[in-house]
């Protein structure tokens, strides 16, 4: 069982020919909505891979919140831990796509209103969890509290430290598995650009396993025995949105099968995800991952 404690957004996506100038009104081509937020993305990716997934988080009392809850439920996710914050907006990302580029505005809304009390109201979900998976799109005190409850209930605490920021020594001491990209790794440990692999391995708390994702280059594991690297699967990438979220879900779902299996399956799931447009639409099933690996 996987418990995701994290963010829930609706992505509001407008496609148009060019970006408007300040004060200008333009007609767009298309408008679509999709469930997003790193927490919801990772929960959906884990559920597609066949895991029993529950989520703790918050939406607002608006139509976007209702849509988000419906989609999560349709994916088979236990939404009993998701609260509705009165008189607040749900988290949204307003995404404008034009000129082969994008502009994005994120309003965290209810995600930033999640509290330690909200999490404490669902300790039963921690009792059931083998893995607790968090990102950094909810208040830091909630992430820290989830880490403490994971430890208390002997669940593996996996932290995807995104968006990038410096982490406290207390939080680092509670992380079992960390999954940064290079930027997130440097910020999390306040490393400078010149830090070597040996230096990175040395500063890791001894109990921590660190798996750094490197986009099309693959992933590397840092531990007390140094660095190991796996190449990514060679595929034609169409849209890498959601690659990191799919990788994190895969690592969490397959973690109990050992590092090699977990990284291989997480990379296979992510490689399948980058071959289709969109984040959640592209997330594969466990069966698709098995077929891909055997091919
Ligand atoms: P993030 O978006 O969080 O920085 P990455 O870009 O590092 O995440 O991607 C996460 C994982 O997704 C990589 O470790 C790799 O396995 C897979 N991946 C990403 N881009 C590609 C690609 N172009 N081809 C194959 N696999 C990819």
Give 233-260 pLDDT, tens digit per residue. Answer: 999 999 998 999 999 999 999 999 999 9
Q: Give 220's strand partners.
A: 212, 229
Q: What angle do CA 26, 96, 214 make, to 5 degrees?
A: 160
The response to whether residue 135 sits with its C-beta less than 6 Å from ligand 1 reads no
Q: How remote is the CA of residue 214 from the centroid of ligand 1, in Å?
A: 6
What rounded mean pLDDT belongs to the chain? 96
**CA 43/CA 45 separation, integer angstroms:** 6
122 in Cβ contact with 81 (< 8 Å): yes
**Is 292's pLDDT higher than 90?**
yes
Give residue 262 CA to ligand 1 midpoint distance, Å: 15
Domain regions of the chain by residue span: 2-7+38-85+111-294
Pick the CATH number of 2-7+38-85+111-294 from 3.40.50.620, 3.40.1190.20, 3.90.110.10, 3.20.20.140: 3.40.1190.20
Which active-site residues does the annotation give? 245
Give the 3-state DSSP-derived string for 201-254, with helices as H, strands as E and coil as C.
HHHCCCCCEEEEECHHHCEEEEECCEEEEECCCCCCCCCCCCHHHHHHHHHHHH
7-49 pLDDT, tens digit each:
999 999 999 999 999 999 999 999 999 999 999 999 999 999 9
203 pLDDT higher than 90: no
Kindly state if the Cβ of 237 falls inside 6 Å of ligand 1: yes
Asked whether 274 lines ligand 1 (CB < 6 A), one says: yes
For the cut 80, the answer to whether the pLDDT of residue 224 exceeds it is no
Cα(290) to ligand 1 centroid in Å equals 18
Ligand 1 binding pocket mutation candidate from 232, 239, 284, 292 (most atoms within 8 A of CB): 232
Mean pLDDT of 141-166: 98
Q: Which of 61-70, 86-95, 275-284 has the lowest mean pLDDT?
A: 275-284
83 band by pLDDT with thresholds 50, 70 and 90: very high
Binding residues for K(+): 239, 241, 273, 276, 278
pLDDT at 129: 98
Which residue owns the Cα nearest ligand 1 atom 6? 215
Name the more confident of 217 and 203: 217
Any ligand 1 atom below 6 A from CB of 233: yes
């Amino acid at each position: 069982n996987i418990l995701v404690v994290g963010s829930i957004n609706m992505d509001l996506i407008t496609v148009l020919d060019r970006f408007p100038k300040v004060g200008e009104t333009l007609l767009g081509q298309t408008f679509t909505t999709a469930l997003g937020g790193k927490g919801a993305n990772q929960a959906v990716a884990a559920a597609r891979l066949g895991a029993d997934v529950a989520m703790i988080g918050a939406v607002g009392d608006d139509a976007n919140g209702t849509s988000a809850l419906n989609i999560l439920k349709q994916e088979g996710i236990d939404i009993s831990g998701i609260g509705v914050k009165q008189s607040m907006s749900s988290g949204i990302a307003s995404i404008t796509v034009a000129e082969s580029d994008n502009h994005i505005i994120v309003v965290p809304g209810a995600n930033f209103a999640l509290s330690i009390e909200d999490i404490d109201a669902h300790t039963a979900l921690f009792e059931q969890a083998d893995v607790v998976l968090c990102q950094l799109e909810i208040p830091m005190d909630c992430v820290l509290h989830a880490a403490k409850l994971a430890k208390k209930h002997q669940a593996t605490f996996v932290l995807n430290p995104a968006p990038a920021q410096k982490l406290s020594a207390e939080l680092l001491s509670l992380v079992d598995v960390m999954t940064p990209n290079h930027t997130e790794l440097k910020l999390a440990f306040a490393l400078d650009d010149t830090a070597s692999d040996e230096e990175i391995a040395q500063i890791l708390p001894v109990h921590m396993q660190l798996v750094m994702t490197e986009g099309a280059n693959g992933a590397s594991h840092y531990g007390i025995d140094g660095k190991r690297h796996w190449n990514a699967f060679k595929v034609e990438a169409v849209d890498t949105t959601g690659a990191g979220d799919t990788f994190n879900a895969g690592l969490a779902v397959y973690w109990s099968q050992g590092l090699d299996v977990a990284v291989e399956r997480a990379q296979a799931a992510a490689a399948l995800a980058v071959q289709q447009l969109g984040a959640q639409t592209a997330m594969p099933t466990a069966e698709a991952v098995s077929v891909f690996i055997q091919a």
